[in-house]
Amino acid sequence: MEDRYIAAVDLGTSKISLAVARIEGEDIQIIYYKEVPSEGIRYSAVFNPQRVAEPLKNLISNAEKELNIKILQTVVGLPRYCIKQETARGGTPRSDAGSRITKEEVDNIKNIALDSYPLDNPEREDIYGAVAQSFTTEDMIQAMEEDVVGMVSDSLEGNFKVFIGSRKSRANIDNIFNESGIAIAKAYFTPTILGKATLTYEEMDTGVALIEMGAGVTSVSIYQNGLLRHYSSIPFGGVNITSDIKLEGGLSTSLAENIKLEYGACMPDKLASMSEKIIKIMYPDSGAEKTLPVKYLSEIITCREEEIIEAILYEIDQSGLADSLRSGVVITGGAAAMTNLSNLIKEMSGYNVRIGYPLRKFSSEGCTGIHETAAAACISMILEAKNEKLLNCLDKAPSFNSCTANEASESKAYEEEEERDELILTAPKEKEEKKSKPREKSKAPTREKKKSNGLWTKFIQKTDGLMDALFDQMDEDGNNSDTYE
């Protein structure tokens, strides 16, 4: 069987990621993965295509040079904030009632449901994706997809959860790739596929909340009985933490980001000797110095993380499935790597918590960062696109494996805006992290919630129904802001 190649692009608030994979039958090998800082993206949605186009073009161009190939098309992720979830139903009498139901018939029922779904505002809204919830035949109700395929029935009807987002945001993505001369082979609403890359079958079956903690958006996806049952998103993430450090420390954005990545941690009381260390920042040109105690840094981070966790728990409660999460919580995304974050979530929620690194469903050699939480979205798109048997994103096979050839190279391009900002630190570079106890699997945890201060509830009440207004504002000030804070 001839090899195929898939290129996946994840457009994030703080970074753009590109992964290239070789597909040989059922085997997946990642041969390229890189991240670069992004501009013109807010809440995971493109609001200024021009600012996004340049770093994306450079990222793709560098990949083409290193692999000696031409990328003709890619798969790409859609925005994850301001998403409505609705219910759609589709069905039709079967022409051959005596034949077995096929997978193609099930997919056709889904297409019928989506094509016939009445959008409230077709000029502003677009269907990003859908997930089957149950199917009904003449003999069964509330059946799973794997149960109905192969059955014999006079009729087939399906219920689907539909995810609706901004048409303008999707058009902006099309604008970027059209200008770059690269076709979009598939556009995925990644929350519908992220579980396949980070969760085990047992977790999705027994009930789990998958929290994707990005730079601008934190999303909550709840799985039960193997299916995505609820989705919601929160407009807070890693950039809010960076902004807090910047303001409290009087630092540049890039320096605050680097300090967060190197020394950031939650729960200052659990840092042991690290809490006594001091971060000393020297500016060689002026001779000025600044200091930032590690304990104070942790207090800044913990305050914001508690606010985000409170919003997460509110959304979980709103789903009606809070008491059914027998596998607890799994956190993934770039902002999930914060030291002690999983312990803080467990303390505030009572759930068992683990970090959702990409599952080992692929091979890679020397691709720095591909096994980190920040790469989960790209991996999920590659796993999903693998099922498209005719999809091939390259014009020819690469001449070599870029990951192997550049194993010693640095994959993340987080560089300081001012090279004169020198960090002289009294703390060691290795972070101290408390080991978590083994997760109990026998029964659902009993949650002991902290008393909520109601901030997220008040936010929801004030912003209810303002999705259109948000995107209007993003369009208006698109040319007035380089970064989201």
Confidence of residue 475 (pLDDT cuts 50, 70, 90): low
Task: Dump pLDDT digits (tens) for 287-337.
Answer: 888 899 999 999 999 999 999 999 999 999 999 999 999 999 999 999 999
Under 8 Å between Cβ of 100 and 213: no
Exposure string of 71-91, with b = 16+ CB inside 10 Å and e = fewer, is: bebbbbbbbbbbbeeeebebb
Which of 213, 175, 183, 206 has the alpha carbon at shortest distance from 377? 213
pLDDT higher than 80, residue 435: no
Measured over the CA atoms of residue 101, residue 103, residue 104 and residue 105, the dihedral's sign is positive
The residues facing 28 across adjacent strands are 23
Which of 186, 240, 231 has the alpha carbon at shortest distance from 8? 186
Q: Which residues contact 107 (CB under 8 A, 6 or more apart)?
A: none
The residues facing 36 across adjacent strands are 16
Task: State the DSSP code for 320.
Answer: T
pLDDT of residue 470: 54
Task: State the DSSP code for 406.
Answer: T
Domains in the chain, CATH or no CATH each: 84-165 (3.30.1490.110), 204-355+421-452 (3.30.420.40)
pLDDT higher than 90, residue 103: no
Task: Dump pLDDT digits (tens) for 192-237.
Answer: 999 999 999 999 999 999 999 999 999 999 999 999 999 999 999 9
Interval 347-374 mean pLDDT = 94
The better pLDDT of the pair 104, 351 is held by: 351
pLDDT of residue 346: 97
In which residue are the tokens 């104070």 written? 296
Under 8 Å between Cβ of 252 and 418: yes
Task: Dump pLDDT digits (tens) for 111-121.
Answer: 888 888 899 99
Q: Which residues contact 373 (CB under 8 A, 6 or more apart)?
A: 331, 332, 333, 334, 336, 337, 355, 356, 357, 358
State the amino acid at position 154 in one-letter form.
D
Which of 138, 135, 157 has the alpha carbon at shortest distance from 147? 135
H or E stretch at 291: strand 288-293
Structure tokens at 263: 């020394």
What does pTM read for this prediction?
A: 0.83
Could you tell me whether strands 15-24 and 422-425 are parallel, antiparallel, or unpaired per DSSP bridges?
unpaired
Under 8 Å between Cβ of 156 and 137: yes
The residues facing 165 across adjacent strands are 126
pLDDT of residue 360: 92
In this prediction, what percent of the chain has a pLDDT beyond 90?
63
Rounded Cα distance, 166 and 50, in Å: 19
H or E stretch at 2: none
Rounded Cα distance, 445 and 210, in Å: 16
Confidence of residue 483 (pLDDT cuts 50, 70, 90): very low
pLDDT of residue 93: 82
Rounded Cα distance, 265 and 254, in Å: 18
Confidence of residue 426 (pLDDT cuts 50, 70, 90): very low
Q: Which residues contact 437 (CB under 8 A, 6 or more apart)?
A: none
pLDDT of residue 90: 86
The better pLDDT of the pair 468, 159 is held by: 159
pLDDT of residue 442: 41
Measured over the CA atoms of residue 52, residue 81, residue 197 and residue 335, the dihedral's sign is positive
- Average of per-residue pLDDT values in the chain: 85
Helix, strand, coil distribution of the chain in percent, nearest 5? 35, 25, 35
State the amino acid at position 119 in one-letter form.
L
Task: Dump pLDDT digits (tens) for 58-95.
Answer: 999 999 999 999 999 999 999 999 999 999 988 878 88
pLDDT of residue 295: 94
Give phi and psi for 96, each to the nearest 5: -120, 85
Under 8 Å between Cβ of 112 and 156: no
The residues facing 209 across adjacent strands are 222, 329
